[in-house]
Structure 1
Amino acid sequence: MLKLEIRPNILDRKRKLVINPDMITYDDSDWKDVPNTIFNKDEVEGLRFGIEPIKGYAFTIGRRYYIDIRGFEDKVIKIRFTSLCSIRKKELHKRYVDILNALFNTHQENIINRYIDSFNKNSFVEILGTTFKSDTVILIKDHEIPYTDLGFREYIGYYALFSKSNPKIYKSYNYLKDWNSAVVYSISKLLLAES
Structure 2
Amino acid sequence: MKEFTIIRGLFDTRKRQLIIDENFLKFENKDHNQDLFTVIPKEEIAGIRYGVHFIKGLEFYIGREYQIFIRTKAGKELKIFFKLFYKRKLEEKHQLFCDIVDALWAYYFNDILNIYIDQFNNNQNFSLAGILFKNNCIQFDKKEILYSDLAVKNYHHYLVLCSTKDQYTNKMMNYLKDKDAVILNEILNCIIKNEQLRAKEVSDRPV
> TM-score scaled by structure 2?
0.88
Whole-Å Cα distance in 1 between the matches of residues 88 and 32 of structure 2?
A: 27
Given that 2:123 and 2:134 are in contact with CA atoms closer than 8 Å, whether structure 1 keeps it comes out as no
1:7-32 residue CA offsets vs partner (Å, 9 max, x unmatched): 11122211110012221100111222
Q: 1:29 to 1:75 in 2, by over 3 A?
A: same
Percent identical pairs in the alignment equals 33
4+ residue runs over 3 A deviation:
117-122
Spell out the pairing of 1:1-195 with structure 2 (5 A cutoff). Answer: 1-12=1-12, 13-121=14-122, 123-141=124-142, 143-195=143-195
- One-letter identity of the residue aligned with 2:32: W
1:69-105 residue CA offsets vs partner (Å, 9 max, x unmatched): 1112123221110001111211111100000000011
How big is the shift at 1:119? 3.3
Aligned residues: 194
Give the alignment's Cα RMSD to 1 decimal: 1.5
In the alignment, structure 1 segments of 5+ residues that lack a partner are: none
> TM-score scaled by structure 1?
0.93
Whole-Å Cα distance in 2 between the matches of residues 70 and 125 of structure 1?
A: 18
How big is the shift at 1:120? 4.3
How big is the shift at 1:122? 5.4
How big is the shift at 1:67? 0.6
Report the counterpart of residue 203 of structure 2 in structure 1: none
How big is the shift at 1:114? 2.5
Given that 2:29 and 2:37 are in contact with CA atoms closer than 8 Å, whether structure 1 keeps it comes out as yes
Whole-Å Cα distance in 1 between the matches of residues 36 and 15 of structure 2?
A: 15
Whole-Å Cα distance in 1 between the matches of residues 74 and 137 of structure 2?
A: 32
Given that 2:136 and 2:147 are in contact with CA atoms closer than 8 Å, whether structure 1 keeps it comes out as yes
Whole-Å Cα distance in 2 between the matches of residues 150 and 122 of structure 1?
A: 17
Larger radius of gyration: 2
The 3-state SS of whatever aligns with 1:107 is: helix
